Amino acid sequence: MKKSQTSYRGAEALTFTTKALELVVTTGVGPRVVSLRSLAGKAQKSAQNIFLQFPEDEPRAHGLLHFRGGHRLWHSPEQIPRTYQPDDEPLAVKPLPKGVALVQPTEEKTGIRKGMKIEVFGESTIKVTHGLVNHNAWAIETAPWALTMFRAGGYAALPLLPKGDHARGDLLPNYSLVPWTYTDFSHPCWDMHRDYIGLDVTKCRVPQKLGITNYPGWSAYWLDGVTFVKYASVLPDTAYPDMGCPFELFSNGKMIELETLGAYGKVEPESSVTHIEYWTLFDGLDKPATDKAFAALQAAVDKWLAKLK
């Protein structure tokens, strides 16, 4: 892996490059991962940044936060203005053998300090460790919330747990779908399959969001021949935000977010919580909009996950 200094919209940043991918992480603002490109694909489109980037003149959300795009860390549950605190200050930077650790100044209005550790293993596995520290004089209740924003035009796949067998005594449910108040399953963007739920961003015309209370831990987004996969462990007997969701996805047709959440609970003063994601890219897989294409993606993910364990 090669590490080099760069800039992002006038602020300092770092680039990490392997034979398979290029990753750009901000150090002058954030912490954010603002770019992820595949270097292994043959098509020119596959070398583009798969992450969404907002225009430089984007208005602040609720007058507070520059979304910027890419990957960010929030604290859940979502609430204005707490969740939308700006992250415009330079970060404390600690080089690591395989990456970098980044810590932002403590948020003045929440007393929470965010940190992100980004590490690259091998040619195509990225480990992102998210951390929240409570610097208040009192306990708070929250959960780490890791959100990754992608460019529109692709297709997301959310795998479901393996099917049971009623005849063999599988009589109880093992997960729930959690729609938001504006979710409409009759909308043409939703693509329901036996083993997964698809979301076609090209057909999304209005905001849609869905959470799930139990799933295999990975999700995927296909765009221009590149498939991004993220994985986060689902902890048994653990409380999660938003009616128990360790995973959520959101799209408004202009972009899509894959979101994982850590355990929800009390964080004592000067204590911390962490949440880990693993990322990878696959080149050359078909869009997982058919059962056959999804099965090929599932097989590729299974091989990758086996190497993580």
Domain count across the chain: 1
CATH of the domain at 158: 2.70.98.10
Read off the pTM: 0.96
Q: What is the pLDDT of residue 46?
A: 64
**Which of 289, 257, 206, 253 has its CA nearest to residue 67?**
257
Q: Which domain does 109 fall in, by range?
A: 2-308
- Please report, for residues 48, 79, 237, 272, the alpha-carbon distance to residue 242 in angstroms, rounded to integers and kept in the order given: 34, 12, 15, 21
**Which of 147, 303, 118 has its CA nearest to residue 221?**
147
pLDDT along the chain (309 residues), means of 10: 93 96 97 96 76 91 90 96 94 98 97 98 97 98 98 98 96 97 98 98 98 98 97 97 98 98 98 98 97 98 94
Residue count of the chain, please give it: 309
Contact 279, 125 (CB under 8 A): yes
258, β-bridge pairs: 148, 249
Using the structure block, give the residue that is written with the tokens 């880990």.
276
- First-last CA distance in the chain: 22
Tens of pLDDT along 126-175? 999 999 999 999 999 999 999 999 999 999 999 999 999 999 999 999 99
Q: What is the pLDDT of residue 56?
A: 86
